[in-house]
């Protein structure tokens, strides 16, 4: 493989504690190496530019059944929003057609992450029965490494085992399902509430018992944390708590976070948290109706800042027309009742559900303005950027392609002030939030923690990703951004919209802003070895015979046509 | 010694039964017995054993007879036809696996073709309705485990999806439905009596072409609003009763078929049925699901959607994807004279399209890829026989509820017969050469 | 106002996509530059001049540019697509998408137009002397924001799905229309001077439909309210007012539910 030397860039890397010093980065055999380890490298002149590790997406909906429902049922998302592929660019590249804005095609998803300097992304909710579909889409998403989180929080096995306090069995089942679906981590969405949705009901509070199963969301969350740490998986429990999106829900969120108290991370991957709460912006709402809706980012972040065993990602509202999609089935029904836009729902036997509804975050609507403010407040109130990550819960709060705009708002008070002024209900937004009083501007070092080193550590992948330390994968982004210059807000957004260069595991993917390779993407999954557990195996057999509509033999994901290039992370929990 | 292969997937209809057992001969070349399949499925497996099956490509001659040609020649003809066309149509895809569809899409992208599947003549209208109002749905196991209200509207599963009722919808005993059919009320709406309507607790003989009115009347009745005395041939009292029956269930489902998707009203019928389902969710839990026909028409829609953003009738001719049934849909393209060559695979438009569209296929350079001799292969210039997917080669398929199931190979194809994937892969390589696309 | 005249040189073997034939694209260009604009036949691109002789002169802006297309345009798709100002005169018939997504200006077609004329229209005027196809003034697939404004006037008959998801503007049809009129509309005015078939105003939330002739079968969700005098398109008469579609949700204003209005001439 070609050796590269990226010279004289301003390097930002929390793993090496480099805060914008001019330094060189060397690449050999797909890895970062010491600069003297390359003999005849191709030299990339990065002088006057910013150099970081490749970005990591910790939570996005980019592959699988509900994403594709979004594509299928929103042709208008593609209208006049498509670019040519093979036919138009036959000779110099082999890149495929791209289409869509909030729910781009798989090719566009891969290319767009690469353009932003991202090299790894996690699909945030995989319904196990649809695992094959998720993997097919990931296979067709070029360049970026991907993994997917199977959902467990409403799974009948989990509900029954946890009700009986059988944590060993819960763990054994999880290990089996991760292998069957080639999943990466334990995801829990509206624990209990989505099963209740099977009857058109919900669990809004952590103490609301799940119909029939008679277990509470709190018990599910605690049980999953315990099972996760029993197995010692790379990532922690990844939760989307109950009561998402409703005024006054911040108390539910605090209740959810309390499940982590007293638990300590046990794993060999240097992960320190036991609970990752995702898109916490949607869970930090005050007031008791839309009319008095307000930010509760501060009590949430006070709690998060104090508790080192919790990480969060934000879910910034980007003020776009987008498509919401979540395994929180009852929430999407609630949303379609509010905005009357088209509603898709899929309940998945024994496992989960999902809903999809388009949404327009209009700067003319006061609630949308406050949601925008809450996202920024969460990031700006964070005392530890290694535990608070940048996401839009793509595409729920906005498409991930808006990350450069979010950086603009986080790095420039002027940019925030301009947006506040542009709101139709500027006064109400200011009254309902604290954002106007914030003068913190994030540094690129903090941004690198929130988008690289932090997510890599939280995912238990800091041995591969998130930094420029020799030995890590050579995922490197070079941005046309000079941090020593005075940059206007729009210059910030522009510079981070398309990388100058991108390397993925040592291969040059983008040159001068143009994609030159489809890369060699890998699918990450976790292979957790556990002691044989005949009871769980019997339970699995029985549920397939009696309640599933596919046989056990036709459930597991096998074969190169689903995962051409797997990368298994081994865990020994025997 | 014979051997029995279990967990085999039936590659016939959208029910995609995956509990088939097939006994094959010692050498793995002959299917001896098929268990658990319905009569149609059983026939499909045995059909692969037919002695008179074509095993080499056949080129139509000037006098209408066919001459055997090699796969090399077939690849060359197909690649040249596609690469030289200004607007080729690549139609079908519904009876092959997702891997073949993927390769086909790459060919279509390289040559600037229109890709369409058989939804164009069955549930395309459903997809239009879904695009307009969404779709609250579920997997078939949810019906089995929870449903106590089952509606069949404009479909006859007793004949078209024979195991649907026993596996998923009426008879199975599930987690919350321990009494099987006794725990369910069956409502059937159809202008004709059928073997499905015979099983119904409540049957509505809707006037032909008035499904939209009846569906809207149910919605009106749900809201307790005024109705005329008779709608679509049904007295209003019965409509209020039906609305009450749906509301009073714990979990309901509407299954619908081509009786509503392809009759007067088309997408609007489905739109109204989906809207009715959505309304019912204000009172209880309700879902709706199309009874998809070909075993992998759903998969074709899925793959097209994640690759290009649209589920059928995708026009790639301008280098990017466009979609608008009525313009980019196969029958319209053929009848209006918008395409200049036709590639069909894994479907039989010759048997299902209007005669004017079929005549157009016959008048154009055309290739049909299909294991069988069909009306389509008989109007096409070149017939390329291939292996049966789901019998002679595996690969992924999507059930009517979008659940992906990986089909299995049970026997070898006849000596030298290519699979869809193998044939398409060779065409792709040749097309890329012809178009100068970097390999 | 300056006029550019396009006279056909040859017919294309397949349909010709002429989304570049708009005053916006022509404005400020010489006849040579106009002749060099791309048009499309399937997957091939050609200069406009290969199919048309370009004469006259374009104005400096779209508003000052008038385009005349002579001869037979019945295989031209996308005439006037997205135009914002100026005028287009089509002397023959045109194919699909005439005035699609247009925002301003005026198109006059002397013959017929095929499906999707005025799809996604936001403003301007589309006048057709002959008949229109299906989806006249409709929304693009999946979009809940159909025709927003402007006026469409058809002197002949129109097909099905007229004014699908209409939000604003006016559609007038002098002749008869096929099934599904104003489905899902939330605003706008549709005037049918001839007869309608069935499925008129289905799932309509708000907006107005006038039918001067007959409706074969009324939808069940329309309730007769009253008879009243109205002047519509210069014609005075008595109309029976129906409100609906009661199957659909309706917004409240001042405590009153707001329905779509269907006026049937007596």
pLDDT value for A109: 98
Question: What are the chain B neighbours of A343 within 8 Å (beta carbons)?
Answer: 133-134, 136, 278
**Model confidence pTM above 0.90:** yes
Query: B339 vs C14: CB contact, 8 Å cut-off?
Result: yes
B324-370 pLDDT per residue, tens:
999 999 999 999 999 999 999 999 999 999 999 999 999 999 999 99
Beta-strand ranges (E) seen in A384-463 are 388-389
Is residue C19 less than 8 Å (CB to CB) from chain B? no
C-contacting residues in A 316-345 (Cβ below 8 Å):
340-342
In a domain, A132, yes or no: no
Which of A165, A166, A219 has the alpha carbon at shortest distance from A192? A219
Is residue B301 less than 8 Å (CB to CB) from chain A? yes
Nearby residues of A335 by Cβ (< 8 Å), 6 or more positions away: A245, A324, A343, A355, A357, A359
pLDDT value for B180: 93
Question: What are the chain A neighbours of B308 within 8 Å (beta carbons)?
Answer: 97, 99, 105
- Mean pLDDT computed over every residue of chain C: 97
Strand partners, C126: C107, C152
Is residue A76 less than 8 Å (CB to CB) from chain C? yes
Question: What are the chain A neighbours of C249 within 8 Å (beta carbons)?
Answer: 340
Smallest Cβ–Cβ distance between B326 and the set C17, C134, C245 belongs to C134
Distance of CA B45 to the CA centre of its chain: 18
Report d(CA C143, CA C164) in Å as an integer: 10
Query: A136 vs B436: CB contact, 8 Å cut-off?
Result: no
- Nearest chain C residue to A87 by CA: give it: C43
Query: B99 vs A82: CB contact, 8 Å cut-off?
Result: no
- Nearest chain A residue to B15 by CA: give it: A549
Q: Which residue has the tokens 């949607």?
A: A282
Which of A145, A242, A129 has the alpha carbon at shortest distance from A189? A242
Report d(CA B274, CA B153) in Å as an integer: 12
pLDDT value for B28: 87
Predicted confidence band of residue B438 (pLDDT cuts 50, 70, 90): confident
**A183-190 mean pLDDT:** 98
pLDDT(A90) > 70: no
In a domain, A83, yes or no: no
In a domain, A487, yes or no: yes
- Mean pLDDT computed over every residue of chain A: 97
B100-158 pLDDT per residue, tens:
999 999 999 999 999 999 999 999 999 999 999 999 999 999 999 999 999 999 999 99
C147 with C171: CB under 8 angstroms? yes
pLDDT value for A221: 98
Question: What are the chain C neighbours of B312 within 8 Å (beta carbons)?
Answer: none
Structure-block tokens of residue A200: 């058109």
Distance of CA B49 to the CA centre of its chain: 24
A-contacting residues in B 305-364 (Cβ below 8 Å):
305-311, 316, 318-324
In a domain, A76, yes or no: no
Query: A349 vs B303: CB contact, 8 Å cut-off?
Result: no
Q: How far does the CA of residue C223 sit from the closest CA of chain A (Å)?
A: 24
pLDDT(A93) > 80: no
User: Taking CB atoms and an 8 Å cut-off, how many pairs form between chains A and B?
Assistant: 218
pLDDT(A40) > 90: yes
Neighbouring subunits of A (3+ Cβ pairs under 8 A): B, C
Residue B336, exposed/middle/buried by CB under 10 A (0-12, 13-18, 19+)?
middle
Q: Best interface-test mutation with A: which of B296, B306, B318, B433 has the largest number of A CBs within 10 A?
A: B306
Smallest Cβ–Cβ distance between B226 and the set C144, C219, C223 belongs to C223
B355-414 pLDDT per residue, tens:
999 999 999 999 999 999 999 999 999 999 999 999 999 999 999 999 999 999 999 999
B192-229 pLDDT per residue, tens:
999 999 999 999 999 999 999 999 999 999 999 999 99
Which of A71, C187, A160, A168 has the alpha carbon at shortest distance from B131? A71
Q: Do residues A369 and A475 share a domain?
A: no
pLDDT(A17) > 60: yes
Q: Do residues A198 and A347 share a domain?
A: yes
Smallest Cβ–Cβ distance between B402 and the set A65, A551, A562 belongs to A65
Question: What are the chain A neighbours of B310 within 8 Å (beta carbons)?
Answer: 71-72, 75, 78
Nearby residues of A19 by Cβ (< 8 Å), 6 or more positions away: A12, A443, A445
pLDDT(A458) > 80: yes
DSSP alpha helix (H) spans, B113-235? 124-133, 140-146, 157-160, 164, 211-222
What are the contacts of B355-358 at 24+ separation with CB within 8 A?
B357/B330, B357/B331
pLDDT value for B439: 63
Is residue C101 less than 8 Å (CB to CB) from chain B? no
pLDDT value for C15: 97
C204-253 pLDDT per residue, tens:
999 999 999 999 999 999 999 999 999 999 889 999 999 999 999 999 99
Q: Do residues A496 and A397 share a domain?
A: no
Q: What percent of chain A has pLDDT over 90?
A: 97
- Nearest chain C residue to A337 by CA: give it: C249
Strand partners, C76: C16
**C8-21 mean pLDDT:** 96
Complete edge-to-edge strand list for the sheet that includes strand B202-204:
B202-204, B185-189, B149-153, B251-256, B285-290
pLDDT value for A82: 82
- Residue B244, number of CB atoms within 10 A of its CB: 11
pLDDT(A18) > 60: yes
Q: Do residues A295 and A266 share a domain?
A: yes
**A43-63 mean pLDDT:** 98
A246 with A218: CB under 8 angstroms? no
Q: Would you list the DSSP string of B74-143? A: HHHHHHHHHHH-SSEEEEE-TTS-HHHHHHHHHHHHHHT-EEEEGGGGTTHHHHHHHHHHEEEEE-HHHH
In angstroms, the Cα distances linking A271 to A234, A268, A386, A461, B234 are: 7, 8, 11, 9, 65
Q: Do residues A252 and A398 share a domain?
A: yes
- Nearest chain C residue to B320 by CA: give it: C43
Q: Do residues A443 and A335 share a domain?
A: yes
Query: A75 vs C144: CB contact, 8 Å cut-off?
Result: no
Q: Do residues A173 and A45 share a domain?
A: no
Q: What percent of chain B has pLDDT over 90?
A: 97
C113-131 pLDDT per residue, tens:
999 999 999 999 999 999 9
Predicted confidence band of residue A9 (pLDDT cuts 50, 70, 90): very high
Smallest Cβ–Cβ distance between A132 and the set B285, B321, B396 belongs to B396
Smallest Cβ–Cβ distance between A76 and the set C43, C143, C249 belongs to C143
Range of A205's domain?
160-177+185-458
- Nearest chain A residue to C145 by CA: give it: A76
Report d(CA A369, CA A362) in Å as an integer: 8
C-contacting residues in A 55-74 (Cβ below 8 Å):
73-74
Predicted confidence band of residue B1 (pLDDT cuts 50, 70, 90): confident
Q: Do residues A252 and A297 share a domain?
A: yes
Question: What are the chain C neighbours of A100 within 8 Å (beta carbons)?
Answer: none
Q: Do residues A442 and A486 share a domain?
A: no
Q: How far does the CA of residue C154 sit from the closest CA of chain B (Å)?
A: 20
In a domain, A86, yes or no: no
* Planar angle of CA C242, C246, C247, nearest 5 degrees: 140
Smallest Cβ–Cβ distance between B302 and the set A68, A85, A553 belongs to A68
Domain boundaries, chain C: 115-265
Structure-block tokens of residue A6: 């990226």
A468 with A475: CB under 8 angstroms? no
B20-38 pLDDT per residue, tens:
999 999 998 999 999 999 9
- Give the CATH number, domain containing residue A483: 2.30.40.10
In a domain, A146, yes or no: no
Which of B250, B285, B316, B287 has the alpha carbon at shortest distance from B85? B316
Report d(CA B322, CA A415) in Å as an integer: 37
Report d(CA B407, CA B418) in Å as an integer: 17
Q: Do residues A215 and A302 share a domain?
A: yes
In a domain, A539, yes or no: no
pLDDT(A86) > 80: no
Query: A136 vs B396: CB contact, 8 Å cut-off?
Result: yes
In a domain, A492, yes or no: yes
A207-223 pLDDT per residue, tens:
999 999 999 999 999 99
Neighbouring subunits of B (3+ Cβ pairs under 8 A): A, C
Q: Do residues A229 and A301 share a domain?
A: yes
A-contacting residues in B 375-434 (Cβ below 8 Å):
395-396, 398, 402-406
In angstroms, the Cα distances linking C203 to A13, A241, B220 are: 57, 37, 11
Q: How far does the CA of residue C43 sit from the closest CA of chain A (Å)?
A: 9
B313 with B330: CB under 8 angstroms? yes
pLDDT value for B101: 98
Smallest Cβ–Cβ distance between A106 and the set B18, B307, B398 belongs to B307
- Nearest chain C residue to B133 by CA: give it: C142
A550 with B18: CB under 8 angstroms? yes
Report d(CA B426, CA A87) in Å as an integer: 18
Beta-strand ranges (E) seen in A402-485 are 476-479
Query: A554 vs B318: CB contact, 8 Å cut-off?
Result: no
Question: What are the chain B neighbours of C42 within 8 Å (beta carbons)?
Answer: 85-87, 112, 317, 339-340
Q: How far apart are the first and last CA of chain B?
A: 46
B289-315 pLDDT per residue, tens:
999 999 999 999 999 999 999 999 999
Domain count, chain A: 2
Report d(CA A173, CA A324) in Å as an integer: 30
pLDDT value for A87: 63
């Amino acid at each position: 493989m070609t050796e590269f030397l990226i010279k004289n860039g301003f390097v930002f890397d929390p793993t090496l504690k480099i805060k914008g010093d001019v330094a060189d980065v060397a690449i050999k055999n797909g890895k970062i190496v010491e600069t003297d380890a390359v003999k005849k490298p191709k030299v990339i002149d990065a002088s006057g530019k910013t150099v970081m590790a490749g970005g990591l997406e910790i939570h996005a909906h980019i592959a699988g059944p509900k994403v594709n429902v979004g594509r299928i049922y929103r042709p208008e998302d593609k209208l006049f929003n498509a670019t040519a592929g093979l036919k138009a660019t036959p000779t110099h590249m082999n890149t495929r057609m791209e289409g869509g804005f909030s729910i781009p095609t798989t090719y566009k998803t891969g290319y767009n992450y690469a353009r932003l300097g991202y090299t790894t992304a996690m699909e945030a909710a995989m319904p196990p029965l649809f695992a094959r579909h998720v993997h097919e889409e990931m296979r067709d998403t070029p360049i970026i490494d991907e993994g997917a989180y199977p959902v467990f929080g409403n799974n009948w096995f989990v509900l029954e085992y946890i009700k009986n306090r059988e944590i060993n069995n819960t763990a054994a089942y999880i290990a089996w399902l991760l292998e069957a679906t080639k999943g990466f981590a334990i995801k829990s969405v509206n624990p209990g509430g989505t099963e209740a949705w099977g009857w058109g009901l919900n669990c809004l509070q952590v103490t609301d018992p799940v119909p029939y199963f008679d277990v509470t969301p709190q018990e599910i969350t605690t049980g999953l944390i315990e099972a996760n740490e029993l197995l010692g998986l790379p990532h922690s429990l990844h939760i989307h708590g109950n009561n998402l999106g409703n005024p006054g829900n911040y108390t539910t969120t605090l209740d959810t976070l309390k499940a982590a108290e007293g638990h300590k991370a046990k794993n060999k991957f240097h992960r320190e948290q036991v609970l990752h709460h995702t898109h916490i912006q949607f869970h930090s709402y005050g007031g008791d109706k839309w009319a008095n809706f307000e930010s509760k980012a501060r009590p949430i972040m006070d709690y998060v800042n104090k508790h080192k065993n919790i990480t969060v990602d934000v879910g910034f509202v980007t003020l776009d027309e987008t498509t919401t999609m979540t395994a929180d089935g009852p929430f999407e029904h609630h949303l379609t009742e509010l905005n009357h836009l088209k509603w898709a729902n899929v309940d998945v036997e024994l496992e989960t559900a999902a809903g999809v509804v388009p949404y327009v975050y209009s700067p003319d609507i006061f609630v949308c303005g406050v949601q925008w403010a809450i996202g920024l407040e969460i990031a700006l109130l964070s005392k530890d950027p290694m535990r608070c990550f940048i996401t839009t819960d793509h595409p729920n709060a906005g498409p991930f392609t808006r990350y450069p705009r979010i950086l603009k708002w986080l790095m420039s008070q002027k940019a925030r002030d301009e947006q506040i002024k542009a709101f139709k209900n500027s006064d109400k937004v200011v009254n309902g939030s604290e954002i106007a009083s914030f003068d913190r501007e994030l540094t690129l070092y903090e941004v690198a923690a929130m988008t690289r080193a932090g997510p890599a550590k939280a995912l238990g992948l800091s041995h591969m990703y998130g930094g420029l330390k020799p030995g890590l994968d050579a995922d490197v982004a070079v941005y046309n951004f000079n941090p020593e210059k005075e940059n206007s807000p729009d210059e910030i957004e522009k510079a981070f919209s398309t990388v100058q260069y991108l390397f993925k595991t040592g291969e040059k993917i983008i040159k001068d802003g143009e994609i030159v390779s489809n890369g060699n993407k890998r699918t990450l999954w976790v292979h957790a070895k556990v002691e044989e557990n005949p009871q769980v195996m019997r339970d699995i057999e029985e549920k397939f015979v009696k309640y599933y509509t596919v046989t056990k033999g036709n459930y597991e994901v096998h074969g190169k046509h689903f995962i051409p290039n797997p990368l298994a992370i081994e865990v020994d929990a025997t | 010694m014979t051997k029995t292969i279990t967990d085999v997937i039936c590659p016939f209809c959208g029910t995609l039964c995956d509990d088939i057992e097939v006994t094959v001969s010692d050498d793995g070349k002959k299917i001896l017995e098929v268990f658990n399949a319905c009569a149609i499925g059983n026939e499909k497996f045995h059909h692969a054993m037919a002695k008179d099956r074509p095993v080499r490509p056949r080129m139509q001659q000037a006098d209408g007879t066919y001459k055997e040609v090699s796969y090399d020649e077939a690849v060359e003809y197909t690649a040249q036809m596609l690469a030289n066309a200004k607007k080729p149509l690549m139609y079908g895809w519904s009876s092959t696996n997702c891997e073949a569809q993927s390769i086909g899409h790459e060919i279509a992208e390289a040559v600037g073709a229109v890709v369409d599947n058989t939804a164009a003549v069955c549930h395309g209208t459903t997809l239009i309705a879904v695009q307009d109002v969404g779709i609250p749905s579920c997997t078939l196991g949810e019906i089995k485990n929870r449903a106590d209200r089952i509606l069949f509207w404009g479909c006859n599963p007793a004949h078209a999806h024979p195991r649907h009722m026993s596996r998923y919808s009426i008879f199975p005993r599930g987690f919350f439905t321990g009494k099987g059919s006794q725990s369910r009320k069956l409502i059937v709406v159809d202008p004709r009596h059928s073997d499905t309507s015979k099983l119904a607790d409540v049957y509505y003989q809707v006037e032909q072409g008035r499904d939209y009115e009846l569906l809207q009347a149910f919605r009106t009745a749900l809201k307790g609003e005024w109705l005329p005395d008779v709608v679509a041939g049904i007295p209003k009292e019965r409509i209020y009763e039906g609305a009450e029956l749906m509301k009073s269930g714990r979990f309901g489902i509407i299954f619908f078929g081509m009786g509503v998707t392809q009759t007067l009203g088309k997408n609007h019928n489905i739109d109204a049925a989906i809207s009715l389902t959505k309304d019912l969710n204000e009172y209880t839990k309700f879902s709706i699901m199309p009874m998809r026909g070909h075993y992998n028409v759903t998969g074709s829609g899925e793959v097209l959607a994640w690759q290009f953003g649209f589920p059928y009738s995708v026009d790639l001719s301008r280098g990017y994807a466009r979609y608008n049934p009525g313009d980019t849909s196969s029958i319209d393209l053929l009848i209006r004279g918008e395409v200049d060559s036709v590639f069909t695979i894994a479907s039989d438009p010759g048997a299902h399209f209007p005669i004017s569209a079929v005549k157009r296929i016959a008048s154009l350079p055309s290739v049909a890829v299909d294991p069988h001799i069909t009306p389509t292969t008989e109007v096409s210039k070149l017939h390329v026989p291939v292996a049966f997917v789901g019998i002679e080669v595996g690969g992924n398929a999507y059930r009517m509820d979008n659940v992906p199931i990986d089909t299995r190979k049970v026997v070898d194809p006849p000596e030298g017969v290519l699979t869809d994937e193998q044939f398409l892969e060779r065409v792709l390589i040749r097309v890329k050469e012809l178009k100068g696309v970097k390999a | 106002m300056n006029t550019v005249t396009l006279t056909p040189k040859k017919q294309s073997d397949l349909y010709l996509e002429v989304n570049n034939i708009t005053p916006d694209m022509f404005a400020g260009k010489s006849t040579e530059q106009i002749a060099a604009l791309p048009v499309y036949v399937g997957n091939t691109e050609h200069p406009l001049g290969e199919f048309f002789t370009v004469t006259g002169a374009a104005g400096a802006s779209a508003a000052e540019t008038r385009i005349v297309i002579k001869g037979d345009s019945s295989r031209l798709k996308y005439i006037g697509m997205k135009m914002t100002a100026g005028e287009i005169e089509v002397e023959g018939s045109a194919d699909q998408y005439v005035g699609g997504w247009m925002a301003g200006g005026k198109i006059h077609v002397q013959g017929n137009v095929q499906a999707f004329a005025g799809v996604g229209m936001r403003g301007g005027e589309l006048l057709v002397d002959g008949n229109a196809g299906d989806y006249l003034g409709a929304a693009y697939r999946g979009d809940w924001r159909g025709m927003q404004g402007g006026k469409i006037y058809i002197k002949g008959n129109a097909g099905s799905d007229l004014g699908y998801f209409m939000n604003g503007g006016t559609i007038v049809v002098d002749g008869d229309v096929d099934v599904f009129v104003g489905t899902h509309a939330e605003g706008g005015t549709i005037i049918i001077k001839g007869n309608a078939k069935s499925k008129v105003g289905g799932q309509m939330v708000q907006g107005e439909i006038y039918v001067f002739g007959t409706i074969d079968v009324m939808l069940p969700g329309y309730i007769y309210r009253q008879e009243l005098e109205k002047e519509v398109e210069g014609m005075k008469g008595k109309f029976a007012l129906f409100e609906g579609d009661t199957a659909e949700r309706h917004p409240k204003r001042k405590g009153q539910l707001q329905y779509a209005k269907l006026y049937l001439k007596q």
